[in-house]
Amino acid sequence: MSVFRNLLLQCNIFLILGQLTANEHSEKVFKKDIKVPSLTLADIISTHNVRSDIECSFNCLKDQTCVGFKYKSGTNTPPVNCQLSNTTGKNNTAMTNDQGWVFFIDVEHIPVR
């Protein structure tokens, strides 16, 4: 199990399938972005304490306004290690190395460069 989990954490792209709702089936693909945007309070939909980036992605999948999320790996002891975002960070000129935070973006919302 540990090897499998490590493999998932190493992947740059992972597919999230799932969440059957009453009327629709949601499907998103998240890609790890090399840039970590500095999110403002207006950019953050909600915050969570989760066990993995996959659990954080499921929270994003449940929210229709979520187009990306930040996850802090290596620990689940801080009060917040998952931030759901309504922005791709493309309009945010302040990129930051957030000391362990990684940004994942829904590939449908990746800006064309």
CATH of residue 84's domain is 3.50.4.10
Q: Please state, for a pLDDT cut of 90, what percent of the chain lies above it.
A: 34
Residue 67 lies in a domain: yes
Residue 35 has pLDDT above 70, yes or no: yes
Q: Are 81 and 75 in contact (CB under 8 A)?
A: yes
Residue 2 lies in a domain: no
- Report the number of distinct structural domains present in the chain: 1
For position 13, what pLDDT does the model report? 39
Residue 63 lies in a domain: yes
List Cα–Cα distances, 54 to 17, 41, 70, 113, in angstroms: 11, 23, 11, 27
pTM exceeds 0.85 for this model: no
Q: Which domain holds residue 88?
A: 27-109
Residue 78 lies in a domain: yes
